[in-house]
Amino acid sequence: MSLAIAAMVALLPMPFVLEPYSLIQLSNAMVLAIACMGMKVVFGTAGLLSFGHATFFAVSAYAGAFLCHFGQIDSFEIYLLFGVCFSVLLSAVLGYLSVRATRIHFTILTLAFCQIVYSLFINGAVFELFGGDGRAIYYVTEGGMYIRRLALLGQQITPPDFIPSLYNVIAVAFVVAAALLWRIDRSPFGLALMAIRDNATRAAAVGIRVRRYRWYAFILSGAFVALAGSLYGQLNRQITPEQLDWLFSAKLILAVVLGGSRRYLGPILGAILFIGLDEAASGLLGYHGLMLGVLLIAAVFLFPGGLAETVATVVRRLRGRVAGGP
């Protein structure tokens, strides 16, 4: 609790300190961190490598966007709630089917589901559900969806104040998600997930409902990722099929691995590191992908167990020196 308050105190003054671009990047980092926390639950804690979580990220934003556009809804809270609930329901269904398989077969199933949903958006089938208007949007945006500035707590925010206001919402969501992840990691449920990750057969032999708990983990992680997706949609004012592609899931996994998939701080540090590297690579126009690849390779070699593991090792050594004296 005190950690959450400290994080909130550190994050709240940022709109007054940072310039707009940096504030947007910090917001993007927090959104990515929330999504990575979801990946941490399913991959780092439960040991399930899912390439399907891009679906829940994007579908959450798409569902909210469709509701706002076709239902003439202007409330950010309704957009967020509807998107997250829809996406969590989808994760419950896809998770129920996916956890019937294990290891690589589970991964392939999630990848297949992800690409099925991606193809439904990229070929316009989902837009067709909304008739001529939906078809028109599809042809104009090529499968993307524009999301206008929505009213926060019933208040229409003027454009200059919108990003700082949304930043505050994202900061609260980030702190709440981080606190929830902290609870999960230390709960008997979290321990049971770790036991399943370490040895599913032995976990079953001590009475853990392996498949059921894997399903719960999948849904829980889907909720984190869905929340991040809705926030991303409003922050960037659009959602595109790019976020539906399995490569986006790979990006989340990469960020979690970079940060340290088994450490609590792993997804947070991984998201910050990934956004930082992406930003550094964007300086080289035309070579962004190449530069990002080189930086990622360097990061993997520099932080073999993930950035959080390296930080923990450094802290341990410093403590050892302090305890050992001069």
| CA–CA distance, 153 with 114 (Å, rounded to integer) | 33
| CA–CA distance, 25 with 234 (Å, rounded to integer) | 14
Of the candidate residues 54, 192, 272, 292, the single one contacting other proteins (CB under 8 A)? 192
Comparing CB distances to other proteins, the nearer of 159 and 207 is 207
Residue 50: name the closest of 85, 102, 88 by CA: 102
Contact range with other proteins by CB under 8 A, out of 20-28, 60-68, 188-196, 289-297? 188-196
Binding residues among 203-232 for other proteins as defined by CB under 8 A: 203-210
Binding residues among 249-268 for other proteins as defined by CB under 8 A: 262
How many amino acids of this chain bind other proteins (CB under 8 A)? Answer: 19
198 binds other proteins (CB under 8 A): yes
Residue by residue, DSSP assigns 195-247 as HHHH-HHHHHHTT--HHHHHHHHHHHHHHHHHHHHHHHHHHHTEE-GGGTSHH
191 binds other proteins (CB under 8 A): yes
| CA–CA distance, 146 with 37 (Å, rounded to integer) | 26
Comparing CB distances to other proteins, the nearer of 48 and 147 is 48
To other proteins, the closest distance from the beta carbon of 253 in angstroms equals 19
Of the candidate residues 188, 283, 286, 304, the single one contacting other proteins (CB under 8 A)? 188
Which tokens sit at 49? 């490598």
To other proteins, the closest distance from the beta carbon of 324 in angstroms equals 21
To other proteins, the closest distance from the beta carbon of 196 in angstroms equals 9
Contact range with other proteins by CB under 8 A, out of 54-62, 147-155, 198-206, 230-238? 198-206
Q: How many residues does the chain have?
A: 326
Total Cβ atoms within 10 A of residue 35: 33
| CA–CA distance, 250 with 256 (Å, rounded to integer) | 10
Question: For binding to other proteins (CB under 8 A), which residues are involved?
Answer: 188, 191-192, 194-195, 197-199, 201-210, 262
